[in-house]
A and B are shown apart, each in its own frame.
Chain A
Amino acid sequence: MAASERRARFTLLQLAAVVIGAAIMVAPLAWTLLLSLKSNAALLGDSGAALSPPYTLENYRAILGGSMVFRWLLNSLIVSLGTTAGVLILCSLAGYGFARLEFPLRRTLFVLVLVGLAIPEQAVILPRHQLFAELGLHNSYPGLILPGLISSFGVFFMTQYFRAIPHELDEAAMLDGASRLTIFWRVLMPLTWPAQATLGVFTFLASWNDYWWPLISATRSNMFTLTVGLASSQMNYAQTSGLGYLMAQAVFASVPIFIVYILFQKQIVRAMAGAALR
């Protein structure tokens, strides 16, 4: 068998594997979409009814007709964008400081930041909840955004990235009379765009999908994020009401995150492949 033929067959096998893998990944999404196009009565007896017509847009009409999902969508956007912006600013500043500046206890502080990676959120959620209660921050955007700004991973990530940038750039800028702030903002920051994009995408997705903290901090429905709001929409214990409506809300809510994936596909793939630091 010729080498080119073997290569072609191997490529075909690879393609088949990728198609099967993609089908497995897409199946639940397609299933959700189909369920959202069916009436509750049709789904109650047999969810397999989703595979055949008739389909209806009634559930989407109900959402547009006055569901709280728009409010929850706005809340999720504000919280996710706010958290992402905050994390990028703070982690860039901290990363620059740890990578470029000499100050007392720098290494000790950096180790303390790294220790944060080993502390799960559940371990600090009670004192944090009490603290936020004392400060009157529950059921507010700051209450939802502030905890997300603490990102040990982000600081570590940006520190490593800044360290990889040659010091000669700073020295050349200094010779030209640039201040520390100018060097940070004008010289180094533009070079960190790949890392910013990676960290930003990770932060946005984590914030968008967060359930636990919004569940106990945003207890008023007008402050729910999408994850909490959709959970509250489930109508009864036996889950026999509003099945298609719930799925329609899930589809509707996933549109923004879908757009983020489309726009930042390259960065997400790079991030997943661990290539951002190269």
Chain B
Amino acid sequence: MNRIVLALAAFCALASCAPKSDQTQIYLQRFWGECGAVYGHNTDIAKAEGECGIITTMINRFNAENPDIHVESNVVAWPGYAQLSAQIAARDPPDLVTMHQGVLTDYAARGLVEPMEPILREAGISPHGFTDAARRGVTKDGRIYAMPWDTIGGLFHINTALFAKAGLMRDGRPVLPTSPQELLAQARQFKRATGLPYLIQSQVNDPATHVRNLYTFLLAQDAVLFPDATHIRIDTPQARQIVEMFKQLNDQHLSTLNQDTPAAIGSFLNGQGGIYPTGTWMIGSFDQEANTPGRPLYKSYAVYPYPRLWGHPAAFVDGHSWVMPTHQRSAVQRRAIARFLKFLAHHNFDWARTGHIPAFKAVLADPKFSALPHRSDIASLGSIGRTLPGVVRRQGAIEGIVGEELQAAVTGQKPVADALADAQDRSNDLLAQVD
């Protein structure tokens, strides 16, 4: 009997659990992984590396500097929206959550996240201080629903040693094409000189790759991708030209084929191609290789926004942001959240070390930021970056549909015109179902 009582007591002790404290608790939920083993006790932000290391250290530092507040960090599997939706349904949402700006519309339209102007005001953060791209990303229907944290988007990561071998370097900088014809010509020249593909592309299980390419070059031509909230327009001559160019690259073996993301990363790191179009998130890893003697990328890495092949410089971007799910909170809690947001905004430069573009104009203009490797070359993303219109919902699902059709088109499984028509019809069917 005693054993049963003891077992029950142990079970209850484990089952209960909230520690009692006089501190104001902020329940923060984020992705970017769990790295407590390495950074669990670190408070020196300058010494932290990578997304997980930097955000973990920032939270440690805030907790150390603010003994009256405790930020309890909850790390969820990327991207964490299944859990967030479950928490909202259970009326137990976190106080602050990481959210992609492209997803924000879905939550804002249903009133599941709070407009954040009041709390930003309390934190002394002016939306006028956000970069253009960041501000567009968090503004939905005229209201600001998040504090932007960065801008993420596609870039041309370049192996300059191979570019030099192909005769595509001038004054120490890669020569990037200014038209689709020039891109194809350069790709052939590169292949002749190096025997390697000009582009390394992640074309398998990565719909975002194709969508990023299409949206970027359509936005460069001022194409109206979404004439209204429930219709996409990509079955156009402009879109066909873009997709045909990428199909030609595949047809002529000027790009890697049949690679998923890890394979494409491996190819680029091992010097098996000239350009890897992928996101801001890879700068840190590639730059580390560029500083490691003996590695193929050693002193041979550069990175730039997508070249202007059509129209004007533009980039399809998204961004991470901090949102507050709608919930009853006390004034004390709100003040604590405001203080934490102010702290985060103050440390936005540290986050920019991850490779992402800062969300604040002041950080973007700071010489400290420009002094970081490659940042002066990619800073324009903060101004030329365009998110999808704030009224468009289900952006992730649409990306999946369009990416799937584009993959079929560039790999020759489906005629380009058919793929674009199907992508448009399927996306519109989906949008028609949005309540």
Given A66-B40, A219-B83, A234-B77, A45 contacting B266 (CB threshold 8 A): yes
* Size range of the chain B interface in the assembly: 35 or more
Chain A residues contacting B78 (CB-CB under 8 Å) are 234, 236-237
Residue A142 lies at the interface, judged by CB distance under 8 Å to chain B: yes
A219 partner, pick from B41, B86, B265, B266, beta carbons under 8 A: B86
Residue A110 lies at the interface, judged by CB distance under 8 Å to chain B: no
Q: How many pairs of residues, A versus B, come closer than 8 Å at their CB atoms?
A: 126
Residue B252 lies at the interface, judged by CB distance under 8 Å to chain A: no
A65 touches B37 (CB 8 A): yes
Q: How far is the CA of A241 from the CA of B282 in the complex (A)?
A: 11
Q: How far is the CA of A45 from the CA of B285 in the complex (A)?
A: 10
Given A47-B266, A222-B17, A241 contacting B91 (CB threshold 8 A): no
CB distance from B317 to the nearest CB of A (A): 14
Q: How far is the CA of A244 from the CA of B317 in the complex (A)?
A: 31
B50 touches A68 (CB 8 A): no
Residue B15 lies at the interface, judged by CB distance under 8 Å to chain A: yes
Q: How far is the CA of A234 from the CA of B50 in the complex (A)?
A: 13
Between B17, B86, B278, the greatest number of chain A beta carbons within 10 A of the residue's beta carbon is seen for B86
Q: How far is the CA of A228 from the CA of B76 in the complex (A)?
A: 8
Chain B residues contacting A221 (CB-CB under 8 Å) are 34, 73-76
A215 touches B82 (CB 8 A): yes
Given A46-B266, A129-B90, A236 contacting B33 (CB threshold 8 A): yes
Given A65-B37, A140-B15, A141-B11, A236 contacting B50 (CB threshold 8 A): yes
User: Number of A residues whose C-beta is below 8 Å from B?
Assistant: 43
Nearest B residue to A67, CB-CB: B37
B residues with a Cβ closer than 8 A to A are: 11, 14-15, 17, 29, 31-38, 40-41, 50-52, 73-78, 82-83, 86-87, 89-92, 261-262, 265-266, 269-270, 278-279, 281-282, 285, 288-289, 292, 295
Top 5 A-B pairs ranked by shortest CB distance? A235-B33, A133-B90, A216-B86, A231-B77, A62-B37
Q: List 21 A-B contacts (CB under 8 A).
A: A66-B41, A67-B37, A68-B36, A129-B86, A129-B89, A129-B90, A138-B90, A140-B15, A141-B15, A142-B15, A219-B92, A221-B76, A229-B34, A232-B33, A232-B75, A235-B35, A236-B52, A236-B281, A238-B279, A239-B261, A242-B35
Seed contacts A221-B34, A233-B33, A235-B50; 7 additional CB < 8 Å A-B pairs: A68-B36, A129-B90, A221-B73, A235-B35, A236-B52, A241-B51, A242-B35
